[in-house]
Amino acid sequence: MSTPPLFLVDTLPQSGEFVLDGPEGRHAATVKRLRAGETLTVSDGSGGVATCVVDAPVGRDALRLRVTERSDVPAPQPRVVVAQALVKGDRGELAVELATEAGADEIVPWRAARCVARWEDGPRGEKALARWRNTVREAAKQARRPWVPEVRDPVGTQDLVDLLDGALGLVLEGSAGQRIADVALPRHGDIVVVVGPEGGVSDEEIAVLRDAGAQAVRLGPTVLRASTAAAVALGAIGALSPRW
């Protein structure tokens, strides 16, 4: 039996009936073609979840729903923040899509030294950031996640130092001597996973991040693309920590 589809709303109803309209209502009514008696889930993206049954259509692009169950899902612990280097073309969106499906709790676009992609301040940079945020939102819905990861504004390497304060920092580096499985993961708090660009993390950046307390780790015997490394790391962390 398939899991009921999830739709995101700004305000989650506590009980009773309500109308799902707007883009989410249109998607439910015209794309998913949900009909009376079928079940779906709505979430506020911050852990609130309501299981609902479709009562009736409201016009062509909205549905009247009845809440049958309401719950609040705790945020995963430990939290995993992915500092993802900017990747050229669609691979950047693929990176955040996979990371979201794998469980990232926050995504920070990183302007690493060897990034080919450049998000300059202004309309073009804002458009690229909006694509990442929309990709994350849709991936969270696809994965039936009650928590939608925040995508922060892009940062430089020095900003990552602040992000690492009080957190366990893991810099993914294929030549690192330490495996991710050898690291003692915390049960609570933040784990910051730093993913470099296709050209790798520079020696200078690794030195700065190590001085901030981060550890260089490898995921396995193979070299992963910048677009897939975070998802693989999240899988490993999920299995090695209480998250899963």
List of residues 6+ apart from 66 with CB closer than 8 A:
16, 17, 52, 53, 55
Helix, strand, or coil (residue 169):
strand
Q: Taking 70 as the threshold, does the pLDDT of residue 1 lie above it?
A: no
Domain boundaries, the chain: 6-72, 79-240
**Confidence class for position 124, pLDDT limits 50, 70, 90:** confident
Most distant CA pair in the chain, distance: 61
Q: Taking 90 as the threshold, does the pLDDT of residue 120 lie above it?
A: no
Token reading at 136: 């994350």
* 8 A C-beta contact, residue 201 and residue 173: yes
Q: Does pTM top 0.95 for this prediction?
A: no
Q: What is the mean pLDDT of residues 86-98?
A: 93
The domain covering 6-72 belongs, at the CATH homologous superfamily level, to: Hypothetical PUA domain-like; domain 1 (2.40.240.20)
> For 79-240, CATH number?
3.40.1280.10
pLDDT in tens, 7-47: 999 999 888 999 999 999 999 999 999 999 999 999 999 99
* 8 A C-beta contact, residue 78 and residue 90: no
Q: How far is CA 4 from the centre of its chain?
A: 20
pLDDT in tens, 150-189: 999 999 999 999 999 999 999 999 888 899 999 999 999 9
